[in-house]
Amino acid sequence: MIETLLLFREALYGAIIIGVACAVLGVYVVLRRIVFVGAALAQLSSAGIALALWLGGLGLFGTTHGHLIGMSLLLTLAGALFFGLGGGRRYVHHEAVIGVTYAASAAVGILLIAKAASGEGHDIFLQGNVLGMSRHETVELLAVVIPILGLHAALAKEFVFVSFDPETAATLGYRVVRWNLLLYFTIGIVIAFAMQSAGVLLVFNFLVVPAVTGVLIGRTIGQVFAVSIAAAVLAAAVGFGASIPLDLPTGPAIAAVSALLALLAWSARRLRRE
């Protein structure tokens, strides 16, 4: 396994960067019970990639790495703005709006990629190709992730306060909607950049499962964040290292290890209570 990790170390670094970023943001996603918002944003991001490829086939848009990220980011941030402002709540339940967005984005993405002139050669962007990550992509991820994690570290108390006691925060003068939008935007940015290499399944896994592991094990909010990050890193290393010699798809292998860690955490939580 060590030889495998060394051979594909750039891709492993990228997977760990995505895992750590999503694990931190995932704590808010899980504790605020907005898991399906994460799923919907991931699907919007993939639909953005498909739209860029389809427009590129018509000669109306570029299909370079930058163009794909740009369109993916545009749709993801539009979705983050919509959900952050509570779009659709006036007419139907918020979860129903999220469900419609998820289903519509997935369907549109598949239809566009099927009709894209370069779809057969580029549908890997929708499925993810962790092993294909280059040093340039890893550096690009770092350039995006480090400022976002720095922002969350600097404003951790505010994010936690507004997220888990919004009524009191509003009473004390916090602009809750603006803080929610900032949180949603940071989640959307990370998803948009991670989607280029990781795909919907792995991004959604990192955004939810490590955080669930942290919630099951951690007794304080600090411990929840720490365990979530550790679970993401461990899942990335073990799943990545095992997938190549066993000839398994890397993304699902990492997701399977994440699920196993969550199961072990659940078992430990039950034993602790007994």
**Statement: residue 129 has pLDDT above 80:** no
Give residue 266's pLDDT: 93
Q: Is 207 inside any structural domain? A: yes
| pLDDT band of 131, cuts 50, 70, 90 | confident
| pLDDT band of 5, cuts 50, 70, 90 | low
Give residue 121's pLDDT: 45
Calculate what percentage of the chain has a pLDDT beyond 70.
Answer: 91
Domain that holds residue 258: 2-268
**Statement: residue 149 has pLDDT above 90:** yes
**Statement: residue 273 has pLDDT above 80:** no
Q: Is 259 inside any structural domain? A: yes
Mean pLDDT of the chain: 86
Which own/partner pairs from 119-122 qualify as long-range (CB within 8 Å, at least 24 positions apart)? Answer: 119/50, 119/53, 119/54, 119/57, 122/53, 122/63
This prediction's pTM: 0.86
Please write the tens of the pLDDT for every residue from 260-272. Answer: 999 999 998 888 7
Mean pLDDT of 219-223: 91
Q: Is 60 inside any structural domain? A: yes
Q: Is 29 inside any structural domain? A: yes
Q: Is 8 inside any structural domain? A: yes
User: Any idea what the CATH number is for the domain that residue 43 is in?
Assistant: 1.10.3470.10
| pLDDT band of 146, cuts 50, 70, 90 | very high
Structure tokens at 8: 């594909």
Q: Quick check: 59 and 68 in contact, CB under 8 A? A: no
Q: Is 10 inside any structural domain? A: yes
Q: Side-chain half-sphere of 163: how many Cα atoms within 13 Å? A: 22
Q: Is 274 inside any structural domain? A: no
Q: Is 273 inside any structural domain? A: no
Give residue 89's pLDDT: 64
Question: What sections of 9-88 are H helices per DSSP?
Answer: 9-31, 35-57, 65-84
> How does 102-131 read in b/e, with b if 16+ C-beta sit within 10 Å?
beebbebbbebbeebeebeebbebbebbbb
Structure tokens at 151: 């922002």
Percentage helix, strand, coil for the chain under 3-state DSSP, each rounded to 5 = 85, 0, 15
Calculate what percentage of the chain has a pLDDT beyond 90.
Answer: 38
Please write the tens of the pLDDT for every residue from 179-218. Answer: 989 999 999 999 988 887 888 889 999 999 999 999 999 9
Structure tokens at 88: 């659709």
Query: Which residue, chain included where needed, has tokens 């984005």?
Result: 105
Mean pLDDT of 223-239: 95
| pLDDT band of 127, cuts 50, 70, 90 | low
What is the number of structural domains in the chain?
A: 1
Alpha carbon distance 80, 33 (integer Å): 15
Please write the tens of the pLDDT for every residue from 60-100. Answer: 887 777 888 889 899 999 998 888 887 666 667 777 888 88
Alpha carbon distance 116, 120 (integer Å): 8
